[in-house]
Amino acid sequence: MKTAPIEPARIALAPDGLPHAPDFGDVYHPAAGATGQARHVFLGGNGLPARWGGRPRFVVLETGFGLGNNFLATWDAWRHDPQRCERLWFLAIDKHPPTRADLARLQASSTLPELARQLVAAWPALTPNLHALEFESGRVRLLLGFGDVAALLPQVMASVDAFFLDGFAPDRNPAMWSLPALKQVGRLAAPGATAATWSSARALREGLATAGFEVSIVPGFSGKRDMTTARYAPRHRPAVQAGGLQIHTGPREALVVGAGLAGCAAARALGREGWQVTVLDRAASIAQGASGNPAGLFHGVVHGDDGPHARLHRAAALATERLLRPWISGGRVRGQIDGLLRLAGTPATSPWPIDYVESVSGQAARARSGLAAAEGGWWFPGGGWVVPGDYAGALLEAGDAHFAGNACVEAIERRSGRWHALDEHGASIADAPVLVLATAIDLPRLLGPALAEATGTLAAVRGQITGLPAAGLPAPRVPVADAGYVLPAVDGVLWCGSTARPGDADGRLREADHRHNLAQAARLLAAPAIEALPTDTLQGRVGWRAVTPDRLPLVGALPDLAACTTARHDDRLRRLPRLRDADGGLYVIAALGSRGVTWAALCGELLASWVAGTPCPVEADLRDTLDPARAWLAARRRVALADPQT
Ligand SMILES: Cc1cc2nc3c(=O)[nH]c(=O)nc-3n(C[C@H](O)[C@H](O)[C@H](O)COP(=O)(O)OP(=O)(O)OC[C@H]3O[C@@H](n4cnc5c(N)ncnc54)[C@H](O)[C@@H]3O)c2cc1C
Ligand SMILES: C[S@@+](CC[C@H](N)C(=O)[O-])C[C@H]1O[C@@H](n2cnc3c(N)ncnc32)[C@H](O)[C@@H]1O
């Protein structure tokens, strides 16, 4: 999917005081009131709140988030409904979202001031990706996609129960009501889904009917004669489930193996969806593998072409900042989010908003980092450092997960509809309908040769970090990175790193590796004396990163290779048979490589979407990019191209 920077909305006030979009020649809501319209047209037109009563999850999708008035009214209705669903998901797309300042200005007179204040406070950077915001301790989830409906709707993976169609008037904003867009609405419709809009345009009604809806005209809001409601009733049952997701319908119970950042992030995301999660680890306590480093940094990535790597890193970094900021400021997790400087020589101009990344000159870089010699580069205001073990602990706690240590899993097995983790005697340590492997470099061994083929090569890359006494040395105020990095002093120690040696199993600290790290630190801090420091005064730690050839994580369900080869399946990832059904399955979250701190939050959410069928937190093409079967499928395609008979 091609991305472009987001152009914020231009919003004026019409003479009657209504917010007005001069570019579309239309108002955001009628004079009779945004909340009133939301209640009559969008909630009432979709049979809400009654329809969500007693359900574990209800998913709304809105085209045209605008000022968020429909969202606020929906959230308010959910709050006041004693029969409310356990969790309310609200997905919304907007090509021209308001800036935070405009949103604050226009919501200052909201009829729902407390909710509006929370929305403004959570308003994300205007970057073209999905932004997962949370309210009500995660029971109300707002997934905002900034971009054109024509490009973004086909990228949404969700099973939607109610659609709010709220573009500007069809004659001034045809893209929002086009037949392809309405067909996407049909693709995303869960069984029994409904749609509503204030418009009663004929083309819209015909489009909805073509998309599989039964359409009705009902009385409109505040004297408007008509509006449209619709119920999904396709003539033929679609071959794939709504939105391309498999919805889990069995008991919400999962077993996670591996209590590093990956396993703990999976536990959090599932736990918040109401799952009971047990996390096993061979170590006695959590975060004893790579996630046991004393500190790690996190930040986004900028690439000229904004390809999948950059888009994924951006979504991941923004999600990490959102999750960690309150934990760090509340003292739950040791760390700092005051920005991060990525040195890059002459700064290019950044196409992105400065609340995500800014290109800075040498002078600005020196002022912000406190390092006399820093050159220009990228400034990530939401970047920082964290103690990964603290982070893993907070994730586990947030998922209300049960941890069991000293549990070395030697094999896995599916028996009577449940996945078992087995010890060295073949006895079951624990079992659940869903098994999630978060065992980093031990993934291929646990999967065994047949299944490991499905996830492709995974390298174990040894790394050593070095901690030097901060006294008398220039310390940066924020993490500073290029090929190496230096963090601000933590408890009197400056951590710097790191080395990277694939296939090296030596767990002892090595002098040569310390020297390598000291040389990088000396360069970054412009302090040549560092290179000569005696290594016996230094602290250090060795760990192993699990790394795929494309350096991206593996997140999702394992493919069912036997079914793939015999049935000669479609060559698309989304159609591959998987080792799962509606009652359970086998999943991985692994290969977080050198950036596990940045990846954990987003990958945990993505894993939960795979497992539970919750709306996917990233665009479909990005989900494919992290699909654990991607390398296997690519290899199979290469073979098929070379020999069309296979
Ligand atoms: C030197 C170094 C520096 C790094 N610096 C940074 C940084 O600054 N920023 C950043 O984002 N990332 C950094 N990383 C990467 C980051 O640490 C990892 O990406 C992340 O910790 C991986 O998390 P994980 O949960 O996948 O793996 P791990 O933390 O290794 O967790 C895997 C867990 O699975 C358990 N396990 C494995 N097999 C079994 C089994 N059979 N049975 C039971 N339990 C099992 C292990 O005991 C372990 O607890 C660094 C890595 C290294 C090595
Ligand atoms: C009527 S307003 C929505 C009001 C909003 N539902 C609310 O509750 O405040 C229409 C919205 O559609 C958005 N829009 C217009 N064209 C679009 C397109 N092609 N893709 C996505 N959004 C678009 C506009 O930016 C605007 O915010």
Specify the pairing of strand 580-581 against strand 340-343. unpaired
Q: Which atom of ligand 1 is nearest to the CA of 410?
A: 41
pLDDT of residue 476: 96
Q: The CATH number of the domain where 135 resides is what?
A: 3.40.50.150
pLDDT of residue 603: 99
Q: Please determine, for residue 181, whether its predicted confidence score (pLDDT) is greater than 80.
A: yes
Full domain range(s) for residue 478 = 332-385+459-543
On whether residue 213 sits in a domain, the answer given is: yes
On whether residue 1 sits in a domain, the answer given is: no
pLDDT of residue 144: 98
**Residue of 463 and 15 predicted with greater confidence:** 463
pLDDT of residue 568: 53
Specify the pairing of strand 554-557 against strand 539-547. unpaired
Q: What separation in Å is there between the alpha carbon of 169 and the centre of ligand 2?
A: 10
On whether residue 166 sits in a domain, the answer given is: yes
Q: Please determine, for residue 570, whether its predicted confidence score (pLDDT) is greater than 70.
A: no
Domain shared by 205 and 78, yes or no: yes
On whether residue 306 sits in a domain, the answer given is: no
3-class state of residue 557 by DSSP: strand
Domain shared by 272 and 142, yes or no: no
Domain shared by 100 and 144, yes or no: yes
On whether residue 607 sits in a domain, the answer given is: yes
Q: Which atom of ligand 1 is nearest to the CA of 543?
A: 53
Domain shared by 16 and 130, yes or no: yes
Domain shared by 181 and 230, yes or no: yes
On whether residue 228 sits in a domain, the answer given is: yes
* pTM passes above 0.85: yes
Given 191, 220, 244, the domain boundary residue is 244
* Percent of all residues in the chain with a pLDDT value above 70, rounded to a whole number: 98
Given 244, 278, 308, the domain boundary residue is 244
Average pLDDT over residues 130-149: 98
Average pLDDT over residues 52-69: 98
In the block, which residue shows the tokens 């093409």?
621
- The answer to whether 404 and 388 are in contact (CB under 8 A) is no
Domain shared by 209 and 86, yes or no: yes
For the chain, the 3-state helix, strand and coil shares in percent, each to the nearest 5, are 35, 25, 40
Average pLDDT over residues 88-94: 98
Mean per-residue pLDDT over the chain, rounded: 95
Specify the pairing of strand 140-146 against strand 87-94. parallel
Q: What's the domain count of the chain? A: 3
Pocket lining for ligand 1, CB < 6 angstroms:
257-263, 280-283, 288-291, 293, 296-298, 388, 407-409, 438-440, 442, 446, 463-465, 497-498, 543-545, 590, 592-598
pLDDT bin (cut points 50, 70, 90) of residue 590 is very high
- The answer to whether 20 and 143 are in contact (CB under 8 A) is no
Q: The CATH number of the domain where 381 resides is what?
A: 3.30.9.10
What residue's CA is closest to ligand 1, atom 2? 463
Domain shared by 444 and 467, yes or no: no
Least trusted range by pLDDT, from 237-251, 511-525, 557-571, 593-607 = 557-571
Domain shared by 571 and 516, yes or no: no
Domain shared by 403 and 525, yes or no: no
Q: What separation in Å is there between the alpha carbon of 144 and the centre of ligand 2?
A: 12
In the block, which residue shows the tokens 């000291």?
518
Closest ligand by atom to 293 CA:
1
Q: The CATH number of the domain where 637 resides is what?
A: 3.50.50.60
Domain shared by 199 and 60, yes or no: yes
pLDDT of residue 480: 96
What residue's CA is closest to ligand 2, atom 25? 96
Q: What separation in Å is there between the alpha carbon of 5 and the centre of ligand 2?
A: 17
Dump pLDDT digits (tens) for 524-565.
999 999 999 999 989 999 999 999 999 999 999 999 988 886
Domain shared by 367 and 421, yes or no: no
On whether residue 295 sits in a domain, the answer given is: no
Per-residue burial over 219-246, b = 16 or more CB atoms within 10 Å of its CB, e = otherwise: ebbeebeebbbbbbeeeeeeeeebbbbb
Q: Which atom of ligand 1 is nearest to the CA of 544?
A: 53
Average pLDDT over residues 317-346: 96
Q: Give the 3-state secondary structure of 6-25.
A: CCCCCCEECCCCCEEECCCC
pLDDT of residue 638: 82
pLDDT bin (cut points 50, 70, 90) of residue 639 is confident
What residue's CA is closest to ligand 1, atom 18? 596
Q: Which atom of ligand 1 is nearest to the CA of 499?
A: 1
Average pLDDT over residues 585-603: 98
Q: Please determine, for residue 209, whether its predicted confidence score (pLDDT) is greater than 50.
A: yes
Domain shared by 479 and 616, yes or no: no
CB 66 near ligand 2, within 6 Å: yes
On whether residue 324 sits in a domain, the answer given is: no
Least trusted range by pLDDT, from 23-32, 119-128, 145-154, 233-242 = 233-242
Average pLDDT over residues 32-40: 97
What residue's CA is closest to ligand 2, atom 26? 66
pLDDT of residue 120: 98
Q: Measured between alpha carbons, how far is residue 496 from residues 126, 290, 399, 597 in Å? A: 33, 15, 32, 16
Angle, helix 596-612 to helix 308-329, in steps of 10 degrees? 100
As given in the structure block, the two tokens for residue 46 are: 């979709």
Q: Please determine, for residue 188, whether its predicted confidence score (pLDDT) is greater than 80.
A: yes
pLDDT of residue 645: 62
Name residue 163's beta-bridge partners: 61, 195
pLDDT of residue 567: 46
What residue's CA is closest to ligand 2, atom 12? 64
Average pLDDT over residues 323-334: 98
Given 484, 519, 543, the domain boundary residue is 543
